[in-house]
């Protein structure tokens, strides 16, 4: 039975990950695709056998179609305009990361969500990696104690294509939100501040800064140290980052791809009392599930049951705050504080 009548906005490189899932569901119907470049829409319609209306202008689609769910796969610079229009037209929205490009855009979106009572869920597919779930389960057992220090690294060869290549901070303003959101999720923390040192390594393919060394402070007294370079030559890390979670009594290490390894003591300081540690391995599963599949299953379930998913905009604001505070920190060469409220202005940077 059809429960979701969908307008798709934007059909670029990422659309196949969404369409792979949605075209297999029997509760979804795609009413229309909105694409500034109709050839992109046509390519996907042919690939998936979709029959629907195609528009170049979203206002026309909203005026002519009667749907209930809008999927926003456009560029980060236009997300806020697409999302706020959709919410005000009575649609729930699922959208690709990052939520927005500026603090004002974040505040506009959050205000539209509050005024309309509609849902806006953001795609953060990294949360649905099997090993991430297992690390969270391990932390919840308490055998390693509470996390106190988190490090994450990403060194990848990244020609991201599209308008993203021309951003002032190409890595930060598009992809870093994956790292930041996962950092928050792993250690269950909210960001308080960041000092983000941004730079352009000599020879980088980008004109903007595509590397960084950054330090975030979280509300659970944890420090998250992040560094990376979109443009590293060889010896790459996983796109899902390399992680080290130092806890009160142990440490968990994951290379973002394979097995998770951990060691812990019965009591903090046992090393200095001559005592040994325990160790364990969480094996990478034999079959790795597509991250978007897991995420979309969760979002549709949340919409149908009225549950707030982990990537609801009221949570995701903390992740986009980490990006926008980092931009401000890089621009102003100083530490920036992050303040999130549940009334307007929802996000303030100081
Ligand atoms: N979750 C992930 O792992 C992941 C991976 C890649 C990209 N993304 C995100 O997905 C989004 C899209 O990325 P992409 O790689 O598909 O980009 P892309 O440039 O390939 O595609 C964007 C599409 O949106 C269309 N478009 C732009 N503005 C429009 C508008 N106002 N109305 C209608 N169509 C419009 C463009 O014509 C283009 O076809 C970005 O926010 C990106 O960060 C997420």
Do 4-124+292-311 and 126-288 have matching folds? no
Q: Calculate how far, in angstroms, residue 117's C-alpha sits from the geometric centre of ligand 1.
A: 26
pLDDT band (50, 70, 90) for residue 237: very high
**pLDDT for res 174:** 87
**Ligand 1 centre and the CA of 10: distance in Å?**
6
Give the Cα separation of 327 and 332 in Å (integer): 9
Residue 159 confidence (pLDDT): 80
**50-108 pLDDT per residue, tens:** 999 999 999 999 999 999 999 999 999 999 999 999 999 999 999 999 999 999 999 99
- Distance (Å) from CA 122 to ligand 1 centroid: 14
Distance (angstroms) between ligand 1 centre and the Cα of 47 equals: 18
Q: Does 12 sit in the ligand 1 pocket, CB within 6 Å?
A: yes
> 68 CA distance to ligand 1 centroid (A)?
21
User: Would the CB of 320 count as within 6 Å of ligand 1?
Assistant: no
C-beta of 123 in contact with ligand 1 (< 6 A): yes
The string of pLDDT tens digits covering residues 20-50 is: 999 999 999 999 999 999 999 999 999 999 9
Cβ(36) to ligand 1 under 6 A?
yes
pLDDT in the model for residue 242: 98
Query: Could you tell me the pLDDT band of residue 315, with boundaries at 50, 70 and 90?
Result: very high
pLDDT at residue 194 greater than cutoff 90: yes
- Look at residue 208 and tell me whether its pLDDT is greater than 90: yes
Q: What does pLDDT average to over the chain?
A: 96
Under the banding of pLDDT at 50, 70 and 90, the label for residue 216 is: very high
The answer, yes or no, to whether residue 158 has pLDDT greater than 90, is no
Assigned CATH for 126-288: 3.30.360.10
pLDDT one-digit tens code per residue, 95-110: 999 999 999 999 999 9
Contact 144, 138 (CB under 8 A): yes
Q: Which two tokens stand for residue 293?
A: 């599949």
Torsion sign (Cα): 137, 138, 143, 144: negative
Rounded to the nearest whole angstrom, what is the distance from the C-alpha of residue 118 to the centroid of ligand 1? 23
Average of per-residue pLDDT across 301-312: 96
* pLDDT exceeds 80 at position 161: no
Q: Cβ(181) to ligand 1 under 6 A?
A: no
Q: Looking at the domain 4-124+292-311, which fold is it?
A: Rossmann fold (3.40.50)
Domain regions of the chain by residue span: 4-124+292-311, 126-288
Render pLDDT for 275-299 as a digit per residue (tens, 0 to 9).
Answer: 999 999 999 999 988 999 999 999 9
Ligand 1 atom at minimum distance from 162 CA:
19
Give tens-digit pLDDT for 333-346. 999 999 999 999 99
Least Cα distance to 128 among 272, 1, 276, 301 occurs for 301
The residues, any chain, with a CB within 8 Å of residue 112's CB and separated by 6 or more, are: 83, 84, 87, 88, 118
DSSP 177: H
Cα separation, 167 vs 174, whole angstroms? 9
List the residue whose alpha carbon is closest to atom 11 of ligand 1.
73
- For ligand 1, atom 3, which residue shows the shortest CA distance? 125
The protein residue with its alpha carbon nearest to ligand 1, atom 18, reads 12
pLDDT value at 162 more than 80? no
Band (pLDDT 50/70/90 cuts) for residue 239 is very high
Q: What is the pLDDT of residue 160?
A: 73
Q: Is the CB of 40 under 6 A from ligand 1?
A: yes
Q: Quick one: what percent of the chain has pLDDT higher than 90?
A: 96
The SS3 assignment for 41 reads helix
pTM for this predicted structure = 0.96
Q: Tell me the per-residue pLDDT of 127-139, one tens digit each, with 9 for 90 and over.
A: 999 999 999 999 9
């Amino acid at each position: 039975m059809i429960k979701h009548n969908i307008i798709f906005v934007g059909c670029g490189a990422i659309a196949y990950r969404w369409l792979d899932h949605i075209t297999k569901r029997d509760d979804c119907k795609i009413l229309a695709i909105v694409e500034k470049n109709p050839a992109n829409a046509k390519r996907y319609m042919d690939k998936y056998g979709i029959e629907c209306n195609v528009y170049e202008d979203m206002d026309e689609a909203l005026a002519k179609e009667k749907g209930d769910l809008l999927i926003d796969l456009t560029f980060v610079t236009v997300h806020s305009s697409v999302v706020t229009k959709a919410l005000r037209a009575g649609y729930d929205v699922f959208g690709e990361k990052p939520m927005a490009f500026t603090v004002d855009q974040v505040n506009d979106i959050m205000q539209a969500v509050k005024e309309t009572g509609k849902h806006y869920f953001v795609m953060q597919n990294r949360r649905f990696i099997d090993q991430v779930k297992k690390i969270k389960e391990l932390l919840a057992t308490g055998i390693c104690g509470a996390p106190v220090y988190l490090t994450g690294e990403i060194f990848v060869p990244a020609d991201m294509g599209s308008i993203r290549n021309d951003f002032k901070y190409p890595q930060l303003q598009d992809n870093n939100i994956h790292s930041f959101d996962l950092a928050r999720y792993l250690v269950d923390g909210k960001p308080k501040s960041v000092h983000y040192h941004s730079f352009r390594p000599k020879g980088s393919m980008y004109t903007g800064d595509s590397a960084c060394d950054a330090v975030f402070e979280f509300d659970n007294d944890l420090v998250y140290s992040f560094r990376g370079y979109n443009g590293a030559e060889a010896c790459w890390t996983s796109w899902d980052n390399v992680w080290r979670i130092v806890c009160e009594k142990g440490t968990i290490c994951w290379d973002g791809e394979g097995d998770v390894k951990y060691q812990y003591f019965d009591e903090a300081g046992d090393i200095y009392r001559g005592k040994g540690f325990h160790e364990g391995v969480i094996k990478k599963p034999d079959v790795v599930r597509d991250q978007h599949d897991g995420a979309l299953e969760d979002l549709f379930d949340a919409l149908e049951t009225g549950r707030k998913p982990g990537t609801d905009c009221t949570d995701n604001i903390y992740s986009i705050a980490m990006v926008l505070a980092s931009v401000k920190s890089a621009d102003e060469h100083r530490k920036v504080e992050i303040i999130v409220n549940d009334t307007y202005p929802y996000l303030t940077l100081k």
